[in-house]
Structure 1
Amino acid sequence: MNHQIVIMPAREQVAAVLRRAILSGEYRPNELLTLDSVAEICGVSRTPVREAFQILAMEGLLELRPNRGAMVKDVSEDFINDHYDVRILMEGEACVKAIRHPEQWDTIKQAIASGQQACERQDVEAFNKANNDFHMAIWQASGSEKLKSFLGQLWNGLSLDSYISENEYISVVQKEHEAISQAIFAVDAEAARLAMQHHLEHSQENLLRQLALHKRQQKPAES
């Protein structure tokens, strides 16, 4: 049986990179993003970038500018809270559904092993990939194509903690991943749901702190 993790389409990978940067405040409101600049940053052609712009425009994160690119829209705390409320509900349900498909658990185990190796090497880039693989392995194991599709549209990747080092943070996230996977393998639906909720709430708090920090940094330049 094939347990290979399904890779997200290029447009969704680009959308995830931009979504994380916009939600964290890395890209400022009214900042213009061009097809060429984003394509160069992400190492892709203009086509998936154009498609990613359309995805994020539908989400309310970008405003399309014909022949120019897309302008970043202002993001509020309420927007981030709503984003994570939906992710918590849907990823919690994905965990519950994954319990019913033990034949898919190998992909989750592989992602956990990759994350542990990345932590031991203190390789943040490798851990970021393992983080993506872990969540997508759970979506795949849920057996729901609709759920996997919706979660792909919400994906914003790893949100680093501004209070501790990157290496400390990935170790914390790895432990959270292990708690989620252990609950799934123990066939404990409620524990799996709660472990995922705790994990995503941690990410939510980090993103809100990053957004607040970027907004504070922007104020002097705007005054």
Structure 2
Amino acid sequence: MDATTAVRLSLADADHDPLANRTDRALSVVKRGILTGRLRPGQQLIESEIAEMLGMSKTPVREALKTLVGSGLVSLSRYKGAVVRELDSDAAAAVYDLRVLLEPEAVRRTVTTGGDLGAASSALDRAVAAGEAGDEVGMSLANRDFHRSLYLGCGNPLLVATLDGLKDQTALVSVSGWRAAGGWRTEAGEHRAILDAALAGDGDRAAGAVREHITGFVARVLPRLGPTVDPSDQDGTAEPAAG
């Protein structure tokens, strides 16, 4: 996989937080690049290249990469240093298994307690528009917003935080997996079924639609992933490549 020079990173992609320090801004930019698929699984993340692109020293970039290692989006290779994590079939199955146990219940709670669904409807419209325009980045971000807006009102902050982390890791698969899963129209149709059930106030039906959506994606996509990565190449003891 090519190094980060194959993708231009910019502070314009950072979250608009005026109080964010350099480490937070570097973290925001690199994380967004991973979640949108601009930085692909297996892609090497070289501190000096990222720092030059963002106009900062290597220290905040190094700290940002360490944070991403802790969140499971970046792994440390003995030979390459920091790379975007490649989620093999075993790891992906574990992440999706936990998500399918938690997300349907979170959505059911949001619906049954009368949570606001306006953001979900807006996110679905944006995802469809992005799909029609061939905008994979926009579609990826809108789909994440759709799912999050449906479980955000579940009433349990710990459950929300857990699902946020799982969604980050599933992005390593879903960024490219929607093609194998039947394309963006298939995904949009399944999202529409979830939203229709939620708007009807039927929490059980919405939860069931979420469960079918996730398990269907897993059945179509996970068999296409590679076998388990050799742990001797990713032992977690390396340092991010300074470049």
Q: Is the TM-score greater than 0.5?
A: yes
Match of 2:156 in 1: 144
Partner deviation per Cα, 1:167-187 (whole Å, 9 max, x = no partner): x61111111111111122222
* Deviation of 1:51 (Å): 3.6
Match of 1:204 in 2: 218
Match of 2:237 in 1: none
* Deviation of 1:146 (Å): 1.3
Match of 2:76 in 1: 63
* Deviation of 1:52 (Å): 5.0
1:83 aligns with 2:95: yes
Q: So what's the TM-score if we normalise by structure 1? A: 0.67
* SS of residue in 1 equivalent to 2:76: strand
Report the Cα distance in structure 2 between the residues aligned to 1:84 and 1:139, rounded to whole angstroms.
16
1:179–1:195 Cα contact (<8 Å) kept: yes
Partner deviation per Cα, 1:23-67 (whole Å, 9 max, x = no partner): xx941xxx75333456789x79764773454343464962388xx
* Deviation of 1:82 (Å): 0.9
1:108–1:181 Cα contact (<8 Å) kept: yes
Structure 2: runs of 5 or more not aligned: 1-14, 17-23, 230-243
Match of 2:139 in 1: 127
Match of 1:54 in 2: 67
**Moved >6 Å (runs of 4+):** 43-46
* SS of residue in 1 equivalent to 2:225: helix
Output the amino acid matched with 2:194.
Answer: I
User: Pairwise CA RMSD of aligned residues?
Assistant: 4.1
Q: So what's the TM-score if we normalise by structure 2? A: 0.62
Report the Cα distance in structure 2 between the residues aligned to 1:44 and 1:87, rounded to whole angstroms.
37
Structure 1: runs of 5 or more not aligned: 1-5, 216-223
2:90–2:227 Cα contact (<8 Å) kept: no
* Deviation of 1:114 (Å): 1.5
Structure-2 change in CA distance of 1:35 and 1:176 (3 Å): farther
Match of 1:218 in 2: none
1:92 aligns with 2:104: yes
1:12–1:52 Cα contact (<8 Å) kept: no
Segment of structure 1 superposing worse, 144-153 or 203-212: 203-212
1:92–1:196 Cα contact (<8 Å) kept: yes
Match of 2:234 in 1: none
% identical aligned pairs: 21
Output the amino acid matched with 1:56.
Answer: V
Partner deviation per Cα, 1:68-124 (whole Å, 9 max, x = no partner): 953677754222111101111121122112113435111111112222322343433
Match of 1:182 in 2: 196
Match of 1:108 in 2: 120
Output the amino acid matched with 1:77.
Answer: S
